[in-house]
Amino acid sequence: MDSAIWWYIALAIVVVGLIIAGIGVFLFIKGMKEPMKEIKGSADNLKGRMDKLKLETSSLSHTANELKEDMQVKSEKVTVFVDAAKGTKNSVLDLNSAVRTQTVNIASRVDNDRQSVAQADQWSDTVIGLLNFWQDRKAAKKNQSDHLLIPISGKRPQ
C-alpha cells in the first residue's frame, strides 16, 4: 500500500475521531444543560437566601442598636433612681437626726419642766405657808386687840 492511502486512512481516523469528539462534546454540553440549569437555579436560590440573610442581618443589627439605646436610656433612668434612693436615704437619715435632736430637746424640757413644777410647788407651799402664818398672826392680833377693848356698855364683843 501506498503511503498516500495510509495518509488518507490516518486522515479518516482523525476525522472520525474529531466527529466522535464533536459528538461527545455536543452530548456533554447537551447533558450539562440540565445540571447547569439546576446549578443556576441553586445559585439564584442561594443568592435569594443571601439577600434575605443580609436583610435579616441588617434588621438584627438595627434591633440590636435599638436595644443598646434602650438599655442606655434605662441605665440612665436606673442611675437617676439609684441617686434618688441615695438622696432619700440621706433625707431619711437627716430627718432621723432632726427627730432625735427634737426628742432630746423635748426630754430635757420635760426634765426642766419637772424641776420647774417641783420648784413652783415648793414656792407655792412656801407662799401658802406664809399666807397662813400671816392670817394666823392677823387673827391672833385681832383676838388680842378684842380682849384689850373694854366696851362702854360693859359687854364684850363676840
* pTM assigned to the model: 0.41
Question: Ranked by mean pLDDT, which of 13-27, 109-123, 136-150 comes out on top?
Answer: 13-27
pLDDT at 67: 94
- CA torsion sign, 22 to 24 to 27 to 28? negative
CA atoms within 13 A on the CB side of 122: 6
User: pLDDT tens for residues 66-110?
Assistant: 999 999 999 998 888 888 877 787 888 888 888 888 888 888 887
User: pLDDT tens for residues 3-13?
Assistant: 889 999 999 99
Q: Which cell numbers in the block locate residue 130?
A: 406664809
DSSP 22-67: HHHHHHHHHHHHHHHHHHHHHHHHHHHHHHHHHHHHHHHHHHHHHH
Distance CA 30, CA 19 (A): 16
Q: 151 near 157, Cβ under 8 Å?
A: yes
Confidence check: pLDDT of 149 > 60: no
